[in-house]
Amino acid sequence: MSDSIRLTTLPGGLTIATDSVPTVETLTLGAWISSGSRHETKALNGVSHLLEHMAFKGTRKRSARQIAEEIEAVGGHLNAYTSRENTAYYARVLKDDGAIAVDILGDILLNSTFDTTELNREREVVVQEISQAIDTPDDIIFDHFQETAFPDQPLGRPVLGTETVVRGLNREAVDGYLRANYAPERTVIAAAGKVDHDNFVDMVAGQFAGLPGKGKAVEEPGRYRGGSYRESRDLEQVHVLVGFEGISHADDDYYASNVLSTLHGGGMSSRLFQEIRENRGLAYSVYSFASSYQDTGLYAVYAGCGEKEVAELIPVLCHETVSLADNLTEEEVARAKAQLKSSILMSLESTSSRCENLARQLQVYGRVIPTEEVVAKLDAVSIEQVAACARRLFSGVPTIAVIGPLDHVEDHDKIVERLRG
């Protein structure tokens, strides 16, 4: 672990981590809680995200307006996000304003009132957010893809929830979920930038000692199934997602899968970009991605193209995927590793990236992984490992999601046949 990083665990289980960057004038800090949409029951799908919204809507000390005004009065920025496995609340401020940010973050997580009037209003805001996602095909297709890959289980449900469920979430549901899930042992308070660890620990201990979580979270394992989702819409483009079960954070192929995704469709020099966009002009947007969770993952390719172009795009996409393991080159593997390493090293110049990386590593691995170790593991990935990883992933059951005009889209069985080579 770097000399700049220090950790403290309070008696109740709350972890406090800092990454000191003495050359900057700013500070990013936040609370990362290991609680997201995969920890919800079906009847509460969307409550993690609604809770994230409601945390900013007033406490016993501050109104929603006062929360916004106080952080912006010092030129700070306050935000949050919800994912499938965690929820984060974070602030970026000048170096001397850490105490204000800690006080506000502690206030919204421990003292939110979840006022019924505010909750009624914010439910409507979230419903509008859900509607916006539904109206955006290159957004909502990822939810349908996720649900098809992991049907009838928390990992497959949308982070935003559904309109029906969200409209039914009352104050007791939101407050009860917080008390069951926002436990000290599932929370990391992290800071990166101009920060003194001991002072930060004192501030956090004073503000966060009363985190209420005492219950047992829902921990249902992910069960990948795969399959097909198709939705006919009158659009200018067909949106296509083709993927497979991926791998977890702890898998031995984790680094190889990231190298694979980068050379497959992670940049302008990648195979998919060069063949589908540059050589054939079939799509403006085409890329691959590898998403990892605590126990499973997803590997997929997205493309958006014209109604007629999709007839050529899908066969090319399938061919570039299944043939990849047999004709890799040392040059493209080296180029992908260089892209990944540069991204990691460039992120060290951002206090926000350093703060989030610190918290997420502690959540996922239970330790902070030195940058040198990550770079060494990437350097150690061989062409043989990437090829083996590709064969492993692409031999699995596929998940295929398509939204748009479907007249020129091959049926599911034909696409699966192409993916079998």
Catalogue the active-site residues: 52
C-alpha span between 309 and 306 (Å, rounded)? 5
Q: In the structure encoding, which two tokens stand for residue 71, read together?
A: 């952080």
By residue count, the chain amounts to 421
Beta strands 187-193 and 77-82, pairing class: unpaired
Amino acid at 172: E
Q: Nearest Cα to 316, choosing from 331, 328, 301, 326?
A: 301
Helix (H, G, I), strand (E, B) or coil at 55: coil
Measured in whole angstroms, the distance separating CA 266 from the mean position of its chain's CA atoms is 17
Spatial contact of 80 and 54, defined as CB atoms under 8 Å apart: no
Q: Dihedral sign, CA of 267, 273, 274, 278?
A: negative
Instruction: Identify which of 15, 38, 35, 32 has the alpha carbon closest to the alpha carbon of residue 149.
Output: 38
Taking the C-alpha atoms of residue 388 and residue 392, their distance in angstroms, rounded to an integer, is: 6
Give the side-chain half-sphere CA count within 13 A for 306: 8
56's tokens:
């900013």
* C-beta pairs of 118-123 under 8 Å, 24+ apart in sequence: 118/54, 118/57, 118/58, 118/64, 119/54, 119/57, 119/170, 119/171, 119/174, 122/50, 122/53, 122/54, 122/57, 123/50, 123/166, 123/167, 123/169
